[in-house]
């Protein structure tokens, strides 16, 4: 096939180079265009890429929030309590006394509560607490009774309760260091079922309890649907299980009182997905953030900052350095004494024989009647002998006559 002449090649397009191979620009993803060159019509220009970290790595500026919400997220109080504190004149922002909660604040605002700066918001945490009877669910009781928060361990941070339990009510009480989380979980709109076990004095039928599924009105107060079942009867008392989604004041006692029952013992056994189980009375236990994030859902978990590093890494086990070994002359060795075989290397025949000889010397002479003496320990326990007696066999074993087969 004849070679094609270079002079017969078609003319270059758009003034491209023909005096050598095309050179690619390795700095970027596309070839740079010469200055002053016009871009063909119909093609849109791409935005220039900026060097540096991607958008995900750029730290986001926190959005302004209501002052009551900021105080609640700091763990001082709930949002409603924060609004009352503002109305009482306990909060200042940038030196100005605040009287209305309708104010958005950001990181640049200086907030003082009772003259003290607002503490930094800690990661959201949740605890299970087994409340005993005889404690009030409040921080300050005007009657001077013992409170739940006074009975907590000393290493616990400042926490608030999610809902409340009466003075004589025991069982599961959830605690958190985030007021916004407490407000969200205690609302009936959250839909979490609160289950109680009740010991009540009196008689009631299951048909009467089934009527509570449609709710009930007592003294002008409407109560929502209630799930109630009879567990067992013990004399004049009955053990019941109640499930409700509201947390009104003394709700269980008032509802059962309307049915002619007197509550003797009231125990909360679960709050939503969190259960009392075998938690001992007066004990508090931290709920893992992974469990809390799963129960909250992805949207709320992201809002409360539960989707970051959920569980901290466990510290690696500390390994102490090996002690330095020295030989007879005081020189450091690599973990073994000179003249000894290295661990893991098979022993030679001379070493095995020397080891056996040293063990025999340590054991000493054999004791008569032992296995090492070579004599039977029991009468008739020796080997077979032709005369039927015991003792070692002497000579070859006699041959038995062969029987002819029929």
Catalytic residues: 166
Under a CB-based contact definition with an 8 Å cutoff, are residues 33 and 39 in contact?
yes
Smallest CA-to-CA distance from 198 within 225, 224, 228, 157 is with 228
CA 349 to chain CA mean position, Å = 58
Q: DSSP assignment, residue 147?
A: B
In three-state secondary structure terms, 403 is coil
Provide the b/e sequence for 297-329 (b: ≥16 CB within 10 Å): eeebbeebebeeeeeeeeeeeeeeeeeeeeeee
66 phi, psi to nearest 5 deg: -65, 145
Phi-psi label, residue 256: left if phi above 0, alpha if psi -120 to 50, beta otherwise: alpha
Taking the C-alpha atoms of residue 376 and residue 374, their distance in angstroms, rounded to an integer, is: 7
Burial class (CB in 10 A: 0-12, 13-18, 19+), 233: exposed
| Residues 367, 284: Cα–Cα separation, whole Å | 66
CB under 8 A, 24+ apart: contacts of 32-36: none
CB count, 10 Å around CB of 170? Answer: 19
Tell me whether residue 109 is exposed, middle or buried, using C-beta atoms within 10 angstroms of its C-beta: 0 to 12, 13 to 18, 19 or more.
middle
Q: In the chain, what are the helix, strand and coil shares in percent, each to the nearest 5?
A: 20, 20, 60
Query: Which helix (H) or strand (E) is 233 found in, with range?
Result: strand 227-234
């Amino acid at each position: 096939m004849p070679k094609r002449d270079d002079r017969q090649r078609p003319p270059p397009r758009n003034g491209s180079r023909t005096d050598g191979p095309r050179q690619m620009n390795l700095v970027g993803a596309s070839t740079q265009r010469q200055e002053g060159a016009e871009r063909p019509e119909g093609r849109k220009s791409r935005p220039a890429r900026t060097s540096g970290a991607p958008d995900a790595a750029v730290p986001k500026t926190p959005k302004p929030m209501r002052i009551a919400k900021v105080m609640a997220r700091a763990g001082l109080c709930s949002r409603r309590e924060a609004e009352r504190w503002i109305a009482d004149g306990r909060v200042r922002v940038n030196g100005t006394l605040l009287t209305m909660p309708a104010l958005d604040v950001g990181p640049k605002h200086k907030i003082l509560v009772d003259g003290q700066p607002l503490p930094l918001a800690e990661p959201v945490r949740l605890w299970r607490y087994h409340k005993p009877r005889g404690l009030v669910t409040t921080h300050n009781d005007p009657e001077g009774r013992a409170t739940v928060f006074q009975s907590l361990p000393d290493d616990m941070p400042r926490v608030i309760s999610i809902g409340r339990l009466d003075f004589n009510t025991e069982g599961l009480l959830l605690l958190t260091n985030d007021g916004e989380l407490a407000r969200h979980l205690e609302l009936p709109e959250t839909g979490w079922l609160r289950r109680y076990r009740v010991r009540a004095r009196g008689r009631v039928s299951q048909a009467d309890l089934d009527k509570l599924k449609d709710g009930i009105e007592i003294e002008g107060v409407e109560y929502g649907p209630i799930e109630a079942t009879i567990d067992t009867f013990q004399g004049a008392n009955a053990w019941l299980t109640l499930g409700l989604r509201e947390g009104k004041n003394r709700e269980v006692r008032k509802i059962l009182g309307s049915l002619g029952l007197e509550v003797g013992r009231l125990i909360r056994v679960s709050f939503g997905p969190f259960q009392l189980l075998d938690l001992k009375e007066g004990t508090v236990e931290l709920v893992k953030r992974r469990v809390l994030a799963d129960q909250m859902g992805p949207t709320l978990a992201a809002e409360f900052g539960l989707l970051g590093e959920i569980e901290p890494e466990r510290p690696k086990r500390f390994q102490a350095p090996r002690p330095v070994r020295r030989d007879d002359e005081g020189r450091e060795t690599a973990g073994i004494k000179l003249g000894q075989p290295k661990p893991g290397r098979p022993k030679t025949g001379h070493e095995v024989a020397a080891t056996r000889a040293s063990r025999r010397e340590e054991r000493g002479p054999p004791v008569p009647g032992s296995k090492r003496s070579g004599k039977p320990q029991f009468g008739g326990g020796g080997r077979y002998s032709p005369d039927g007696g015991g003792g070692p066999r002497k000579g070859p074993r006699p041959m038995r006559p062969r029987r002819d087969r029929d």
